[in-house]
Amino acid sequence: MKKGLICAALVLALGAAATGTAKVTVRAEEVVTDCKAAYLMDVGSGVQMYAKNETQRLPIASMCKIMTLLLALEATDSGELSYEEEITISERAAGMGGSQVFLGAGLSYRAEELLKSIAVCSANDSCVAIAERLAGSEGAFCERMNARAKELGAENTLFANCTGLPKETQYSCAHDVALMLRELIGHEKYHAYSRIWLEDFEHPDGRTTQMTNTNKLIRQYDGCDGGKTGFTNEAGFCLAASARRGDMRVISVVIGAGDSKARFAATTSLFDYAFDNFESVTYLKAGEALSEQVQVQGSEVEQLTLLPEKSLAVLRRRGVEENYTLRCEYEQQMKAPIQEGETIGQAILLRDGVEIARTDLLAGTAAPRYSWWQAYREGARHWNMA
C-alpha cells in the first residue's frame, strides 16, 4: 500500500497509549470511592482513567438493563423492531414486580414508550416485554445479551435475566459495565430518553404512571446526560453514568456503595477528577469523510471518499506533552470495481513514532466497473481528444 499522506504532528499528552487497555496513573487522594468496585473511562480513546477492583465479578442489579436497551436500540436500527410497533404485554411481563410502570396484561403499548420507561425509571415489566418481543422469551433474550457482551469484550459478565433482579450465576464487573454503556450512548435515540427527568406514562386503559429518572446526577451534575442506577441487597447501590464537557465525554461505574448518597458522591468525585485533569482530542471520527479522496480508474465514479471505520482519539493530561502523529495510508489511484464499505486504506495514530491505534478507511460509495458500452464510449472520447 502506498502512503497517501502524513498529517502534521500535533503536540498532545497522555499517560499511556490510546487503546482500550491503556491506563493513566491516579493519585489515590484525587478520587474518593466508597464502594466495592469502580471504573472511569474516557469514551473517545477508551483509556482507563481510574480503576478499583474493576474486573471483580459482582451482581450489578439494574445496570444490566444497559444491555437490554442496547439490544433493543440495535434491533430498531436493523429494522427488527419499530418504535411505533404495538407490543402486547404477557402475564409474566406484567407481573414482574420491583421497579415498574404497571403494564396491563393483554394491553398493547408502543415500543418507544416501553424503551423510554426502561431508560427513565428502570421498568422491569417493560424489560421483559421487550425481551419477549425480540427473542420469544426472556431466556432466549439472555442468550443474545451474553453473545453481545462477548462481542464487546466483556469477559467477566454473565446474564441470567434482562432486569438485574437477583438470580444465581449472574454477574458483571465495573470494567464490563463501562464497555456496555460506551456502546449504548453511541445511539442518539438513547439520549432522547436519558435526559428526561419527570414524565407521565400513559396506559391504553386510561391510567397514568409517573416516571422519575433514577439518576439524580442528570439534574445535579453539569454535563451528566445518561446512565443507569441499580440496587438490590446483594449488589448494593450502583450507578453507571456518562458526562460530557466540550469535546470530552467520560463514563463512570460504581458498584456496591453503601447507600444512594455514596454512589452519587463517588460518581461525582470520578467525574471531577476526569474533567479537572484531562482533555480529550479526536483525530478522526467514525463515518466522517476525510478531505482527501481516492482517484478511480475504469468507472464513471471518478473519486471516492474515505470514511474511518472507527474513531481515533487520545486523552491528554494537562501540563504533560507527548508527540502524536496521524498517518493515513491508501492507494492514491485504484481500479474499479470497488464496493461501498470496502477497506481501501488505513489510518494510523502514532505517539513518538510508535503506533498506538489504527482503523480501516472505507470506501464511501461504490465504484462499479464500466460496462462494455461505457468502456467503448470512454475509449472513443479519449480517442477524439487525442
**Catalytic amino acids?**
62, 65, 122
Between CA 103 and CA 213 the distance in angstroms is: 18
Between CA 330 and CA 369 the distance in angstroms is: 20
DSSP state of 62: G
Between CA 336 and CA 301 the distance in angstroms is: 9
CA of 145: how far to CAs of 154, 158, 232, 253, in Å? 11, 9, 21, 19
CB 299 within 8 A of CB 368: yes
CB 212 within 8 A of CB 71: no
Between CA 32 and CA 268 the distance in angstroms is: 9
CB 329 within 8 A of CB 2: yes
CB 312 within 8 A of CB 359: yes
Instruction: Return the ∠ at Cα 157 (arms to 153 and 162), rounded to 5°.
Output: 115
Between CA 325 and CA 347 the distance in angstroms is: 11
Between CA 254 and CA 158 the distance in angstroms is: 18
Secondary structure class of 300 (helix, strand, coil)? coil
Determine the distance from the C-alpha atom of residue 66 to the mean position of all C-alpha atoms in its chain, rounded to a whole number.
10
H-only helix segments in the chain: 65-78, 91-94, 111-121, 124-135, 138-151, 174-184, 188-194, 217-220, 260-277, 372-385
CA of 35: how far to CAs of 61, 256, 265, 298, in Å? 15, 5, 10, 62
Secondary structure class of 68 (helix, strand, coil)? helix
Cell numbers for 72 = 433493543
